[in-house]
Amino acid sequence: MSDKHKKSSPYTADRGIPGAFEGETVTRRRFMNVTAQGLGGVAVAAFALPALGFALGPVFERTKMQWQDIGPLSDFNEDEYIPKVFTIVNGIGTAGETTAYVRLRNPEIDTEPEDEYNRVIAISTRCNHLGCPVRFTPAAGRFLCPCHGGVYDFRGLRAGGPPVRPLDRFYTRIEDSRVLVGARYSVNSELKRFSPRDPGQPVDGIGQYLYPARFSTPEK
């Protein structure tokens, strides 16, 4: 070891520093130094922390559930999908709109438990590989994604290609025989509901823990 790191006495008096007090361990020079550096740190934190919080804020913001009218109940039937365009993000024009394929619940094929939110089934067009828009092709009876060949069956379950989970759905409600559509939710391969995940994030098995629910999950 070099002399640079040799231990010296903690007391300034022992180190022969002029003007040292009995029992003093911090020299006045060191005290001034630490104080000035500390104040500088406080000054930087005073603008850096709010700026950081400002940038990170949206991650922790909860979104509000909004219900939108997408037409009378008589528009829809059990056997074919009707595309409906509605707004999921306000104030940014057509960039905030999305399409959902909507049909009535058909007890013969829809085996998941029925409740007030799935009497009408609204399937999101966002592919769960990487988020491209899927299209329902009636001739095939399937949803097809143009980007990387994701295929989903009539219920939105993955039938082939790279998607990691079935197509997302939207909460729906029937009010005065009008159909209202609410927030998005994700489903696993048994159509069990999960809070909305981004595409590419599986929710089966360990996936639901590797890709936890976000703070932005809308409140009901």
Partner 1 sequence: MPRFRLPTPSRPAALQSKAKRPAGANGPSGPVETAAEGGIHVVDWLDERTSLSGGLRWMMFRKVPKGTNWFYTLGSATMFAFLSQAVTGIFLAMYYDPSPTRAYESVRYIVNDAFLGEFVRGMHRWGSSVMVILICLHMARTFFFGAYKYPRELNWVIGVALLILTFAMSFTGYLLPFDQRSYWATIVGVNINGTGPLVGPYLSDFLRAGPEFGATTLSRFYAIHMMLVPGLIAALMGAHLYLVAKLGTTAPPWMRAEREKSLIEDEV
Q: Which residues bind partner 1 (CB under 8 A)?
A: 55-56, 58-59, 61, 63, 88-93, 95-96, 130-133, 147, 196-201, 210-218
Q: For residue 112, what is the enclosing H or E element?
A: none
Of the pair 58, 141, the CB lying nearest partner 1 is at 58
**Nearest of 132, 140, 198, 209 to residue 165 by alpha carbon:** 198
**Nearest of 70, 136, 77 to residue 105 by alpha carbon:** 77
Minimum separation from the CB atom of position 151 to partner 1 (A): 18
Minimum separation from the CB atom of position 60 to partner 1 (A): 9
Tokens of 216: 């932005």
Of the pair 42, 92, the CB lying nearest partner 1 is at 92
Cα dist. 215→14, 57, 60, 174, 177 in Å?
57, 11, 5, 28, 33
CA 146, CA 161: separation in Å to the nearest integer? 11
Instruction: Give the number of other Cβ atoms within 10 Å of residue 104's Cβ.
Output: 18
Minimum separation from the CB atom of position 72 to partner 1 (A): 27
CA 196, CA 168: separation in Å to the nearest integer? 8
Of the pair 27, 217, the CB lying nearest partner 1 is at 217
Of the pair 94, 177, the CB lying nearest partner 1 is at 94
Minimum separation from the CB atom of position 4 to partner 1 (A): 22
Of the pair 42, 59, the CB lying nearest partner 1 is at 59
